Amino acid sequence: MPTANYYASIAIVEVRDGQKINIESISISKGECVLSGAWNFPLSERETVLNVISGHLIVVLGDVSEFKKYIDDPDLVYVDASPFLEEARNAAQEAMDAYEAFKAANPQRKKMVAPDFYEWPTSIDFNNAAAYLESKGRMATPASTPVDMKKTLSAANLVKYLVDKWHSDEQERNNRKYVERDDAEMTILPKSWLTHKV
């Protein structure tokens, strides 16, 4: 599990052809999100896979229940896109509402600059990460990426993209003194991902 709001790691896992498993690791700290490792193991190396992903938030591509059955560890924490997106959308809307209320209450401040928040979608499928990234003008994977790693790496790049947008929104909220916050410190991920088990 992540420690407080200072550090977290995410593992993207994909079982391929019922024989191998891809893993992409993402490390997140305050203001930083980086892809930090990539592995490919045969499914027979279950203990090695478990050692690599332990302590991570797990994003499963494909059949989640099948992966849970394979890895057979009740202590792993699984996350999906829905609570992340919902919390990000709500936080952005609340901050925008606070801006509008502050602007209405202070008509003399005519040169106020509206906050710039990411337009969070209502849903995202990490299994189709490449299509979403390309729709945003982003490269899903480098041309040199092996074919059997493209889906996993695309999903990792999409998670990184979303985390970067969350960090940008958090910075924007933190810079706006009229935005009331539960805590003075920015969170590295939505609280639903820091605390929620799927």
> Per the domain annotation, does 96 fall within a domain?
yes
Task: Give the tens place of pLDDT for each residue, 92-102.
Answer: 999 999 889 98
> Per the domain annotation, does 1 fall within a domain?
no
Check which CATH number belongs to the domain holding 44 and give it.
3.30.420
> Per the domain annotation, does 157 fall within a domain?
yes
Rounded Cα distance between 166 and 120, Å, is 10
> Per the domain annotation, does 189 fall within a domain?
yes
Banded model confidence at residue 142, pLDDT cuts 50, 70, 90: very high
Structure tokens at 159: 């998670």
> Per the domain annotation, does 123 fall within a domain?
yes
> Per the domain annotation, does 2 fall within a domain?
no
Amino acid at 131: A
Banded model confidence at residue 198, pLDDT cuts 50, 70, 90: very low
Q: How many domains does the chain have?
A: 1
> Per the domain annotation, does 147 fall within a domain?
yes
Single pTM value for the model: 0.91
> Per the domain annotation, does 120 fall within a domain?
yes
| Containing structural domain, residue 172 | 7-195
